[in-house]
Amino acid sequence: MDLFTLAAVNLVIGFFCASYFGIDYRRNPQQNYLLDFSLAGAVLFLQSTIQMLRSYHDFPYFLGPALVNTFTLLFHFLVLSALYRLFQLELRRYFLLVPIFLSYLLLQFPLFQHEQVHRFMLGFGMITLINSICLVMLYQVKNDKYAGVITFFKFVMIFNIFQTVLRSGLFVTAKYGFTMAEPNQLVHQFGWFSLTIHAALVLTGGLIVLARQRQMALEARAETDPLTGLLNRFSMQERLNAELNRAIRSGQPLTIMIFDIDHFKSVNDKFGHQIGDLVIRAVAEVTQANVRNYDLAFRIGGEEFLLCLPNVDHHMASTKAEQLRQQIAERAVLTDLRVTISIGFVVATASQNLDELIKQADEALYQAKRNGRNQVCSRHAEAAVQNREQSVVFG
């Protein structure tokens, strides 16, 4: 395949990459990595355009080889930046942008203008550096959700480092007469072919990322309650069983806590369902603020919620439940509306299954209701933690 054809293929890849990821970025401007992928495509498009036009017209050196080589470096840099942003890692981009700009200035010196091998060796070194930084980052990042993406881009970076090192070796050995006298055209053609493969792999990787994100969004939508953002009951059985099995294996305590809003029907009757939804969201916000990132919070009914708290024993559960109850009682949904909750909890033992735990937590909740509401009750303790401060309850 000649250089013109390879440049044409790169141009198509670059155009598709720039337009596709650019359109997606406009839909999701918070996803900055899409902008980097789009810019990488635009840079590849410009580089390929210049390379194709050079087949028919002579360009000044600063618009020809110097600019093409710099665009190649910029393409690799933008891919690196996109991956750092995807995994939400900090990257001081100017640390690499400055050397790329300086390399363009260096290419203006006669040493690089008159010696193609010097230009290529400078570019190879920069590309190898950028890809090596990216490869180290990919080996360090731990993200189960993107495990397939990480493995794919590891392969992409290893391939690119290998081909640049191989081409560097061919140029150096040719310069000192160890290989054929003039391999430059062959190696140059191989380089463009490698760039085409690399660009196609980057485009494929970007599409894999988008597909994975859309899959995760669908999974989250299926498992998440739209009103509160908490998990819904459809995902509860599997998740709770996994946590219970983990607690039994490790010998750690596990608390199941169920609570609901006191006299919620009267809130709906007096203030309307819109205010009722506002109350539910307010309770969910306070709940989310009180759980750890590995706790599980579910909305399991209209005004009923369930918490799964790993490594929380009876004393800790009592403290957490009372703290949650107090914060919700103090939360003013409206100026003249405060709500309270009743809480029941149970700490798992090795002999219990999930259905038994939920049943006991539910019984503790109903005990709290029978005792007067706005309080915490433990199924095992058979004693309620009485509310010391009466809040306004509508009913």
Looking at per-residue pLDDT, the higher value among 385 and 284 belongs to 284
Give the Å distances, CA to CA, from 390 to 287, 367, 378: 20, 18, 20
Q: Which residue has the higher pLDDT, 10 or 332?
A: 10
pLDDT tens, 255-281?
A: 999 999 999 999 888 889 999 999 999
Burial of 185 (0-12, 13-18, 19+ CB in 10 A): exposed
What DSSP string describes 109-124?
A: SHHHHS-HHHHHHHHH
Question: Cα–Cα distance between 128 and 142 in angstroms, integer?
Answer: 23
Structure tokens at 270: 């007096």
In the chain, the amino acid numbered 214 is: R
Q: State the DSSP code for 312.
A: -
137 pLDDT above the threshold of 60: yes
Contact 339, 328 (CB under 8 A): yes
On average, the pLDDT of the chain sits at 87
Residue limits of CATH 1.20.1070 in the chain? 3-222
**Could you tell me which residue, 177 or 133, shows the higher pLDDT?**
133
Strand partners, 224: 231
What pLDDT score does 174 carry? Answer: 67
Residue 341 has pLDDT above 70, yes or no: yes
DSSP 73-114: HHHHHHHHHHHHHHTT----THHHHHHHHHHHHHTTSHHHHS
DSSP character at residue 224: B
pTM: 0.69
With a cut of 50, say whether residue 40 has pLDDT above it.
Answer: yes
Q: Pick one of 3.30.70.270, 3.40.50.2300, 2.30.30.60, 3.40.50.2020 as the CATH number of 231-385.
A: 3.30.70.270
Phi, psi at residue 86, to the nearest 5°?
-60, -45
> What does the pLDDT read at residue 120?
76
- Compute the distance between CA of residue 283 and CA of residue 228 in angstroms, rounded to an integer: 9
Give the span between the Cα atoms of 75 and 82, in whole angstroms: 11
Rounded to 5°, the CA angle 310-311-316 comes to 105
Angle at alpha carbon of residue 233, lines to 231 and 234, rounded to 5°: 100
What's the mean pLDDT in 173-180?
61
**What is the CATH topology of the domain spanning 3-222?**
Rhopdopsin 7-helix transmembrane proteins (1.20.1070)
Cβ atoms of 41 and 11 closer than 8 Å: no
In the structure encoding, which two tokens stand for residue 169, read together?
Answer: 């070796």
Distance CA 203, CA 216 (A): 20
In the predicted structure, residue 388 carries a pLDDT above the cut 60: no
Which pLDDT tens digit goes with each residue over 209-220?
999 999 988 887
Q: What is the pLDDT of residues 66-87, one digit of tens each?
A: 898 899 999 999 999 999 999 9
Q: How confident is the model at residue 122 (pLDDT cuts 50, 70, 90)?
A: confident
Look at residue 72 in the predicted model and tell me its pLDDT: 92
Return residue ranges of the chain for CATH 3.30.70.270.
231-385
Q: Between 115 and 158, whose confidence is greater?
A: 158
> pLDDT class for 309, splitting at 50, 70, 90?
very high
Angle at 378 between CA 377 and CA 382, to 5 degrees: 90
Return the pLDDT at 393.
Answer: 38
61 contact partners, CB below 8 Å, separation of at least 6: 108, 113
In 3D space, the residue among 374, 196, 216, 231 whose CA is nearest the CA of residue 307 turns out to be 231
Give the residue with greater pLDDT, 335 vs 118.
Answer: 118
Identify the band that residue 390 occupies on the pLDDT scale cut at 50, 70 and 90. very low
Q: What is the pLDDT of residue 188?
A: 61
